[in-house]
Structure 1
Amino acid sequence: MTFRAPVRDLAFALKTVGHPELVKRAFPDLDEDTVQAVLEAAGAFADNELAPLNRVGDQQGAKYANGAVTAAPGFAAAYKAFAEQGWNSLAAEPEFGGQGLPKAMELAVFEMTHAANMAFGLCPMLTQAAIEALTLHGTERQKTLVLPKLVSGEWTGAMVLTEPQAGTDLGALTARAEPDGEGGYRLYGQKIFITWGDHDATDNIIHLVLARTPEAPPGVKGISLFLTSKYELKDDGSLGGRNDFRPGSIEHKLGIHGSPTCVMLYEGAKAELVGELGQGLAHMFVMMNAARLQVGVQGVAIAERAFQQALAFSLERKQGRAVWSSENPAPIWGHPDVRRMLMLSKAKIEAARGICLTTGVLADLARLAETEEERAAAKARQELLTPIAKAWSTDIGVEVASTGVQVHGGMGFIEETGAAQHYRDARIAPIYEGTNGVQAADLVGRKVRSNGGETMRGLCAEMALTAQVLSDAEGLAPVGRRLAAGVAALDQATEWLLSVDNAAALAASVPYLKLAGDVIGGWILGRQALAAAGSDDPWMQSKGALARLYAAQVLSGAPGLSEGMAEGWSELEQVTAEALAG
């Protein structure tokens, strides 16, 4: 099936999310024509260059041999074109060669990239995260020699955290950074699950590595961040000999076969400190949070790709008599449950897209809003939404990809149709960059409970105002009623979280995140329905239909989620593994 980048959906979403009046002040030269031109050009590249490589990437994948990784067929040439056309530099600072566009624009372009070819998109995605980390914490040498090459896409970046004995628990990592006596360091150790840690698509790869110095204390306070280059960096910016690190192998994975996931071996690699000693985890969180938002966008993207294929199949596949078709046999689109699955999938995609783009808008406002008060408020809401954007959106990605297989029926279970690839590719997103359980723990612990719930209360108050407007809008009163009930349920759940101990809050964290995502998603759809109200364009009219369906099928469950959060957690502590095993 031919992929079509969702340019119109993205353009509409960018107009209806966030704070358009504040964004206009931050980016006064950005007009709708420019946004449309960027999206159309990016969409054409995704359609014509990346989507055709998605299947070959899955079937043939990246290869490892003789201590080196070769990208999947066609990927290296596509990456070169991606960089040459400027897609790598959209939101980077102009002083480093970037275009200075809004973060939300970058996310929109990367959604199309990931939807066309998720395995490919992982390479420039992590480069974006490295750019953000070095922009904030890099030394002058690193900003001068490394940042422009990453921004241009001439080099790529890799995030190097995980070790075999220390997955999410970074405090347990053992990689060593030993001073070399010349102001630099030598890195020793093994890292695993390093996405695009080695490849042949660029001349050089920059690794940002967490490691310990000899005198560092145990735990997270002993971790520092280091930059090491595949080829040694000379003071004039030219490349020297091969550095002392290499891939030991690549993983054989369920999906994203075109993305090389490397075991990396550091055998005395020359490195330099990024930021301050002992602050490595704080510095790396800049990169991690950037990647988490991008992974949320991946969830939206793979859902969009799976939905498009399922919708096309439903219009082509003829089977039985249908309620809404006079043909016999009729396209399965005419069967109510197939149409329900597809419309609900579309609604959830638009909700997740809106959450991710809103978070991107807030990231810009946290830096560029005119007043300190506006910047602080944007920063607080951005931090609140980041774990929701990552976790809720990637759960939606898996759900919609699974629904896509279901729409195909038995054909979906057959690899040749391609629906199974989307499901396999989607499954990694809830796992990496911090599992969705970790995101939920972060949401309740650091983002809600740490400031007494004030940021969430403020968001709920804003959503309640939208519910009132919806209740008075023609044809949207049911959405307003359901959204108001959902906001009340989220408010209730937030107050409960603030009243219980840490164990109970953590036990309820995943249902709480789902509740928050469900309600915020309904708010996004309600705002889109209001923006489309009164139009006689069938595409615009569908926004109201999607909001009403989502309200009936998803928002209606919010009160039950909230009530259930307060019950049953004592059983988690009391029931033993032996009892469950029988």
Structure 2
Amino acid sequence: MPTYTPPLRDMQFVMHEVLNVVDELTSIPRHADIDADTLNAVLEEGGKFASEVIQPINLSGDSEGCVLDKTTHEVKAPAGFKDAYAKYVEGGWAALSCDPEYGGQGLPFVVNQCVYEMLNGANQAWTMYPGLSHGAYEALHAHGTDEQKKKYLPKLTSGEWTGTMCLTEPHCGTDLGLLRTKAEPQADGTYKITGNKIFISAGEHDMAPNILHLVLARLPDAPKGSKGISLFLVPKFHVNDDCSLGARNPIFCTGLEHKMGIHGNATAQLSLDGAVGTLVGEPNKGLPAMFVMMNAARLGVGNQSLGLTEVAYQNALAYAKERLQMRSLSGTKAKDKEADPIIVHPDVRKMLLTAKAYAEGGRAMSIYTAMLLDKALYHPDEKVRKDSEEVVGLLTPIIKAFLTDNGFAATNHAMQVFGGHGYIHETGMEQFVRDARINMIYEGTNTVQSLDLLGRKILGNQGATLKKFGKQIEALIAEEGVNEKMSEFINPLAYLADQMTKFTTEIGFKGFVNADEVGGASVDYLRVAGHLVFGYFFARMASVALKKQAEGSTNPFYTAKLQTARFYFARLFPETASLMRTARSGVANLLETDEALA
């Protein structure tokens, strides 16, 4: 049976010692009163909820899965999920960073992000139910009418009702411009919506009395393609003027996907047969409105893999310390035992350190991005808001793709540490691998994220946003470049930063001549960019740890942080050299292969 310990110390280190989150947040009027004690207290309680309430039902939820009653179209979540959700609502966790105008607590988004990392580490399948609701809240908060906000946001804020995003259809995949769901205008200003949606996470369940579906559909006179998509709010049950529930709306679950992982979450096929909905935002402007939810979801998916990386690492580390097998190549280490614990073997340590480095780098990047999002939303200085939003846009596809690629690698490494026992369900390791695999696929596959990063976020503005983030790297290099103790971190970072400019320019010129060159290089390019960002944060974390030691600290936490940073730069960061080489090889070896793929 796996266990989970909330990584509170590392979260506190990143927030308070590396990023100085409190100083950043108190420059925002709505967070002027925030302090470190408040942030720490919230995270401590959130960690308790994660480890004590939803972690114990993760393994059983995976075994049991969700059950659809095809006669009533109702779905029952695994045992314990509904009770855990009731405790989540009762504890006010749904309202953590929501607008106080609608009953929210108004805490910074960065707090919500940290809490959700712990929830995902404890039980990703369960956490997807409230996670989707938070995305629906964001879309309605940004684009809903006053009437929609008044009627629906308080229920989403409290968690009393949940939400979904209904995007794709059987023939669409990621290409939403192909969708066929129709919305017919009615005399009362509503719309009757007809069509079929698939892969709808948390699309039907018994954990809340109502589900608010955000549905993409086409109006009768809509132009073809993505420019003809509108967004509609379609509740499972109609909502009366006094917010009580009315009759059942004809949006029904017709099937549940039989999936590789996340068995505890209902991935639903939904059929709409004249379901009544209301327009969210402007006609034919549904994708921009939905992108508010999709971008929140992409950050959330990165957070899912971050949580899985951490919990898989924790359990593999504990197992490696206890599992006796063979002797160390350099001589017996546990003389009082019949064999040495496997943690003495170098390759086992490599697998453990890989997972640890991916967790710690991902956590720093995620907390930093969440802090920027708080500034983008609420900072009083318009330039700060604009700059923060721009960098969030740059980092979002990296968080989604780099963290999920790393998460799948880390969970596989952790399962490998367990050997044959990792392949057995009871240890929980194979579930982490299966759950992590979907994160690379949904909310836009990682290839789509790489195309977004390179094609739109970087080449789309001639690298201006990348240069903006690069200035932070340059400042760190200038500050620490003369510090001999930092050379093992700063030198490789400085080298890659210089190479990144040349690399980007080269790919950009090739793409100008042949756009397929961007497609051929983009996945490798995103991983290089991910390492550049990770390298920056590992250098910052190492700098803090060295300063603490110079001040006389003997806390093993700082020693461990430096050891992890050294491992990252020595063993993982050099991947960038091979990635740049393969990206530069050109697209011909991919496209001039008709006979090979015949």
Partner residue, 2:205: 199
Cα distance, 1:19 vs structure 2: 6.6
Moved more, 293-302 or 349-358: 349-358
Matching residue within 23, 26, 33 for 2:25:
23
Map residues 327-342 of structure 1 onto 2, 5 A cutoff.
327=335, 328-342=338-352
| Aligned residue runs from structure 1 range 226-375, under 5 A | 226-322=232-328, 323=330, 325-327=333-335, 328-375=338-385
State the 1:58 CA deviation: 0.6
Structure 1, residues 323-364: CA drift from partner, whole Å, max 9, x if none?
Answer: 482334111111121112112210111111122222111111
Letter matched to residue 326 of structure 1: A
Structure 1 counterpart SS, 2:485: coil
- For 1:138 and 1:218, how far apart are their aligned partners in 2? 24
Counterparts of 1:87-486 in structure 2 under 5 Å? 87-322=93-328, 323=330, 325-327=333-335, 328-473=338-483, 475-486=485-496
**3-state SS, counterpart of residue 442 of structure 2:** coil
Equivalent-residue separation in structure 2 for 1:18 and 1:216 (angstroms) = 47
User: Is residue 523 of structure 1 aligned with residue 558 of structure 2?
Assistant: no
Contact 2:517 2:586 in 1 (8 A): no
- How many angstroms apart in 2 are the aligned matches of 1:217 and 1:29? 49
> Does the Cα contact within 8 Å between 2:25 and 2:34 map onto a contact in 1?
no
Q: Contact 1:19–1:361 (CA<8 Å) still a contact in 2?
A: no
Picking from 567, 570, 574, the partner of 2:592 is 574
Q: Please list the CA deviations of residues 500-541 of structure 1 after superposition, one character each: whole Å capped at 9, or x if unmatched.
A: 222211211110100000111111111111122213100122
Query: Which of residues 540, 547, 560 is equivalent to 2:558?
Result: 540
Structure 1 residue 118, shift from structure 2 partner: 0.4
1:510 has 2:510 as partner: no
Comparing 257-266 and 409-418, the one that deviates more = 409-418
Mark the runs of 5 or more structure 2 residues left unpaired by the alignment: none
One-letter code aligned to 2:399? A
Change (3 A) 1:86 1:146: same
Give the whole-Å Cα distance in 1 for the aligned partners of 2:195 and 2:445.
24
Contact 1:401 1:426 in 2 (8 A): yes
Aligned identity (percent) is 42
CA-CA distance at 1:451 after TM superposition: 1.1
Structure 1-normalised TM-score?
Answer: 0.97
- Partner letter of residue 180 of structure 1? Q
User: Deviations for 1:1-21, whole angstroms, at most 9, x for unmatched residues?
Assistant: 321111112222222565744
**Residue of structure 2 aligned with 1:553, choices 551, 571, 581:** 571
Q: Structure 2: how far apart are the matches of 1:451 and 1:366?
A: 19
Worse-superposed segment, 418-427 or 2-11: 2-11
What amino acid does structure 2 have at the position aligned with 1:354?
A
Contact (CA 8 Å) 1:355, 1:521: kept in 2 or not? Answer: yes
Match of 1:68 among 68, 71, 74: 74
CA contact (8 A) 1:22 1:369 kept: no
Question: Is the Cα–Cα contact under 8 Å of residues 103 and 360 in structure 1 kept in the other structure?
Answer: yes
> Which deviates the most, 293-302 or 335-344?
335-344
Cα drift, residue 53 of structure 1: 0.3
* Inter-partner Cα distance in structure 1 for 2:370 and 2:519: 27
- Output the amino acid matched with 1:32: A
Question: May I ask how many residue pairs the two structures share in their alignment?
Answer: 580
Cα offset, 1:166, TM superposition: 0.8
1:470 and 1:479 in contact (8 A); partners too: no
Is the 8 Å Cα contact of residues 18 and 544 (structure 2) preserved in structure 1? no
Q: How far has the Cα of 1:470 moved from its partner?
A: 4.1
CA deviation vs aligned residue, 1:466-520 (integer Å, no higher than 9, x gap): 2344444463321111111121222222222332222211211110100000111
* Structure 1 residue 180: Cα displacement: 1.9
| SS of 1:194 mapped into structure 2 | strand
Q: Is the 8 A contact 1:118 1:298 kept in 2?
A: yes
Taking only aligned residues, the RMSD between alpha carbons, in angstroms, comes to: 1.4
Whole-angstrom distance in 1 between the partners of 2:244 and 2:426 = 46
Quickly say closer, same or farther: Cα 1:297–1:17, change in 2 above 3 A: farther
Counterpart amino acid of residue 530 in structure 2:
G
* Contact 1:17 1:357 (8 Å CA) reproduced: no
Aligned residue for 1:2, secondary structure, equals coil
Q: Secondary structure at 1:509's aligned position in 2?
A: helix
SS at 2:172 equivalent:
coil
Within 2, Cα distance between the matches of 1:24 and 1:546?
31
Return the offset for 1:445.
Answer: 1.5
TM-score normalised by L of structure 2:
0.95
* Stretch of structure 1 that moved more, 472-481 or 327-336: 472-481
Distance in structure 2 (CA, Å) of the matches to 1:334 and 1:135? 53
**Unaligned 5+ residue runs, structure 1?**
none
SS in 2 for 1:254: coil
In 1, distance between residues paired with 2:501 and 2:376?
Answer: 25
Distance 2:420 2:13 in 1: 35
> For residues 237-273 of structure 1, what are the alpha-carbon distances to aligned partners after superposition, in whole Å with 9 as ceiling and x for unaligned?
1110111111001111000000000000101111100
Q: Deviations over 1:253-303 (max 9, x none)?
A: 000000000000101111100010000011000000000000010110111
